[in-house]
Structure 1
């Protein structure tokens, strides 16, 4: 369940908001870090973006195949399924 922070920010004419410094520090978000944007019902959710496997969300040992990231474990499973 989301926690209220008491922080309110206005959006500028280009649709931008500024995330408060204390919130960025708490979430370890540095300047120019990418953020993912999700919609959940009527909520907009931001979270730090980390590249992960397209199938299982693993973040280590990824290879790229046809613009998709795949971990070694999923790659091995695909090889077995193909035989």
Structure 2
């Protein structure tokens, strides 16, 4: 795990602000669902993605295939073929 050196406090409603640099680096927008997990003394955040969602569009669609351990939906697969 890498320390960012950034310290934030929790407000009286239990909220914490993620620095803009982190949101930009990880592609987190106001619409991005985050999963909250714990491990020992740590609280971990990660972008939520359903287990059967496409790695590119994050949607669950019929016809999704596995490629190198990642799921790709038919729409994104067609887009990749155009490259």
TM-score range, shorter chain: 0.5 to 0.7
TM-score, length of structure 2 as denominator length: 0.62
Bigger Rg, structure 1 or 2: 1
Moved >6 Å (runs of 4+): none
2:36 corresponding residue in structure 1:
37
Aligned residue-pair number: 60
The verdict on how the C-alpha distance between 1:72 and 1:17 changes in structure 2, with shifts beyond 3 A counting, is same
User: What is residue 46 of structure 1 aligned with on the other side?
Assistant: 45
Q: In structure 1, what is the equivalent of residue 10 of structure 2?
A: 11
Runs of 5+ unmatched residues, structure 1: 54-58, 64-70, 74-83
Task: Give the secondary-structure state (helix, strand or coil) at the position aligned to 1:8.
Answer: coil
Matches within 5 A, 1:21-36: 21-36=20-35
**Gapped regions of structure 2 (runs ≥ 5):** 67-83
